[in-house]
Amino acid sequence: MIKFADNFNEVSKEKAFDKQHRNIINYNIGKYDVAVTRGLSRLINLEHAKKKGHVIKWKVMENLDKLLPEFESNFQKKGGKVIWANNAEEANQEILQIIKRSGAKSVIKSKSMVTEEIHLNEFLESHEIESLESDLGEYIVQLLGQKPYHIVTPAMHLSKENIAQLFHEKFGTPVDATPQQLTLKARELLRDKYLSADIGITGGNFLIADTGSIALTENEGNARLTTTFPKIHIAIVGIEKLIPSITDLDLFWPMLSTHGTGQNLTVYNTILSGPRKADETDGPEEMYVILLDNGRTDLLAQKDQRQGLYCIRCGACLNGCPIYKNVGGHTYETTYSGPIGSIITPHLRGMQDFKHLSYASSLCGKCSEVCPVKIDIHSMLLLNRRDAVNQKLATSSEKLGWYFWKNSMLKRSKMDLVGGKLKNFVMNTFFGKMWGKNRTLPKVEQQSFSKQWKDRNK
């Protein structure tokens, strides 16, 4: 079985030198960068907003044991039902029980990274239940049998020509169809599904403790349709998505949209507080919120790294990361890719399998700079590296290499003991295949700078 780290290295090499892939990603991220820069310029005091968001999320994590029951109580008062799920298996089984109990045959989904995290589509398919993605980007990658490439833009790795070819093969649309024509075709295909689906499943951008509500943010309207027509609405949300008060949306909604897409606000922002009431004309007859742990409390227990739970899933760190822009989202083999995924995945899915992600970084600090809630991402990556070593997960060759490097660097005489000829031999022999394949290796001088200085200034 190929290890995740080995696979990451292989695919990274392939993607980094795939010019078409890099052109598409850099073009699409470039458009986001322009929009986000313009959007951020409209904020009067950006740094203050970031600090305020950071403090609110800090308070949430410090009081999660109080805020979660508060949300549960307030949501239940409005007729909703709350289910607690420790892991992906429990969450999937709870959803399956609801489906079986109601006799449902089909499910319509809006965009949700948490449902990707628990592999819900595959689980439902194994039980012969149709589950259809209604977000256009998610729908496209579902047709391709792929996972989302980016946490905000699932089909970012595809050009309009790629999508036109896909729709031509699947639905017979013209091979040169425009994006507008493709969108209309998707709308035509999906509209009937909303009317016939028995259950609608969404995620949740925020859980509001004081009102017992979930807040959804979107640009296409598919989440509103998903929560309006089906008789049952299931929202599955990570326990870290809590905010204390509905007034906090005044900060978080603009910060999420501005850092994610450069908009002042996304097109559709919805607050849902339980199933349809007697005097309401639309909405589900039953509404469930599944509160998912799935390793989040393990990360919460890491005092130094729990900042990773502050994330509001805007995707800004992915767009700013030079590694992500070269190797792409699928390379990570995780639900949450890029810098934020590299922080949280080792804690959610195991340090042994995913410690390599914390090394897939230039540590340039761009991720920390662009984060709307001031998560110190690049420092968290270093802490993950520390934990991997403390857990004795470093290989023997890695430990041996660092041992000799440390001993040499601590004493000048040891550094000067080996001449440049031998250093160049070691460089070419041990690093030639790894580094020298795609770049010219540096040539070490025969004498160190220290020795040259002493010779010149006797």
**Which tokens sit at 402?**
């660092």
CB 426 within 8 A of CB 420: no
pLDDT at 356: 93
283 HSE (CA, 13 A, CB side): 18
**Which tokens sit at 353?**
């399998």
Q: Tell me the pLDDT band of 1, cut-offs 50, 70 and 90.
A: very low
The listed range with the strongest mean pLDDT (52-56, 130-134, 435-439) is 52-56
Ranges 57-61, 246-250, 420-424, 436-440: which has the least confidence: 436-440
Beta-carbon contacts of 96 under 8 Å, excluding residues fewer than 6 positions away, are 123, 124, 127, 129
pLDDT tens readout for residues 113-127: 999 999 999 999 999
Reported in sequence order, the residue ranges of 69-162 that DSSP labels E, i.e. its strands, are 81-85, 106-109, 130-133
172 HSE (CA, 13 A, CB side): 1
Q: Tell me the pLDDT band of 2, cut-offs 50, 70 and 90.
A: low
pTM comes to 0.91
Rounded to whole angstroms, the Cα distance separating 282 from 135 reads 21
Looking at every residue in the chain, the average pLDDT score rounds to 92
**Which tokens sit at 204?**
């949740």
Closest CA to 207 of 54, 64, 51: 64
pLDDT at 145: 93
Catalogue the long-range contacts made by 443-446 (C-beta closer than 8 Å, 24 or more residues apart): 444/420, 445/420, 446/419, 446/420, 446/421
Backbone φ and ψ for 290, nearest 5 degrees, come out as -100, 115
Domains of the chain: 43-294 (3.40.50.10420), 412-456 (no CATH)
**Which tokens sit at 140?**
């496209």
DSSP H/E element including 238 = strand 232-238
Question: How far from each other are the two terminal CA atoms of the chain, in whole angstroms?
Answer: 60
**Which tokens sit at 215?**
């807040």
pLDDT at 439: 77
For Cα atoms 378, 379, 381, give the angle at the middle one, nearest 5 degrees.
Answer: 65
Residue type, 452: Q
Q: What is the DSSP letter of 277?
A: P
414 HSE (CA, 13 A, CB side): 8
What residue has token string 């009067």?
44
Rounded to whole angstroms, the Cα distance separating 216 from 19 reads 36
Position 432 pLDDT exceeds 80: no
Rounded to whole angstroms, the Cα distance separating 425 from 418 reads 11
Position 139 pLDDT exceeds 60: yes
**Which tokens sit at 97?**
């029980």
Rounded to whole angstroms, the Cα distance separating 265 from 414 reads 60
Rounded to whole angstroms, the Cα distance separating 419 from 132 reads 64
DSSP H/E element including 422 = helix 420-431
Rounded to whole angstroms, the Cα distance separating 206 from 266 reads 14
